[in-house]
Structure 1
Amino acid sequence: MTLRLSPGDDLRAALDHAFRERGLSAAYVLQGIGSLSVARLRYAGRDDAAELRGDLEILTLAGTLSQHGPHLHMSISDADGRVFGGHVAPGCIVRTTAELLVASLAGERYTREHDAATGFAELVIRPA
């Protein structure tokens, strides 16, 4: 499926809503482009998200969608061309548009379950 988000939309919430509205069991965000006025990214090894504001361009966006919520990573650039990237936190707000390509994986079901080796809820892939 292809999604186009509008100004003011929350990127993460809109993807989660589209996933649930369509009754999907597993999907993968292949790519996303567009612009944000607010980006909230959690950098590697950090507990809290950093917030960037201004005219921001989405360079890459990828991740999984499951019943346990989205797991997305994104790289963005600011008006000076500086690039930032990390885990997408709630509160990334579309500035002009966001165009997203999402693949539904009908034969699979994604869940997130605690992994003793990492200490985090990690992706578990099962037949649908």
Structure 2
Amino acid sequence: MDYKRFGDKIIARIDRTEEVQEKLKELALRENIKLASIYGIGATDDFTIGLYSVSKKDYKEKNFKGEFEILSIIGSISTLDGEYYPHLHISASDEEGNVFGGHLKSSKISVTCELTINIIDGIVERQKDEYTGINIYKFD
């Protein structure tokens, strides 16, 4: 991974064989990012998505292997109990043009991944929502 910061924006490149969630956390901790929006594109050969079931209060995970173009990675960084908390979604297409997407659990990069991170001056904590079981934004 390599990146360059321009004020409140970061342009990052995640390289072949690197995992998106791991590298994003590394970058966020290094740059002390508490709140940001993220978007990006790239290519992956191994990614796992989740679809959340409110009734089960759990994610059903599905893994994909092969050649996929990342059409978009989009999401946010916030905090939960003061700690780094990412929330990312991915959509990726296979060689037939089929598109798959969901909550990004993991993605190993096969070629490159280009991310733009817009840092927001502030902190928004998350808290568990008892009905859904997910960690939602909490505004004081």
Tell me whether the two structures share a fold, i.e. TM-score over 0.5. yes
Write out aligned runs for 1:1-128 (5 A).
1-29=10-38, 31-45=39-53, 47-66=59-78, 67-90=83-106, 92-106=107-121, 108-125=122-139
Do the aligned partners of 1:65 and 1:71 also contact (CA within 8 Å) in 2? yes
> Structure 2: which 5+ residue stretches go unaligned?
1-9
- CA displacement, residues 50-75 of structure 1 (integer Å, 9 cap, x when unaligned): 10001111101111112342100111
> What's the TM-score once normalised by structure 1's chain length?
0.87
The structure 1 segments of at least 4 consecutive aligned residues displaced by more than 6 Å after TM superposition are: none
Question: Which structure is higher in strand share?
Answer: 2
Stretches of structure 1 that go unaligned for 5 or more consecutive residues are none
Deviation at 1:78, TM superposition (A): 0.8
The percentage of counterpart residues that share the same residue type is 26
Distance 2:66 2:59 in 1: 23
Larger radius of gyration: 2
What letter matches 1:84 in structure 2?
F
TM-score calculated relative to the size of structure 2 = 0.80
> How many residues are aligned here?
123
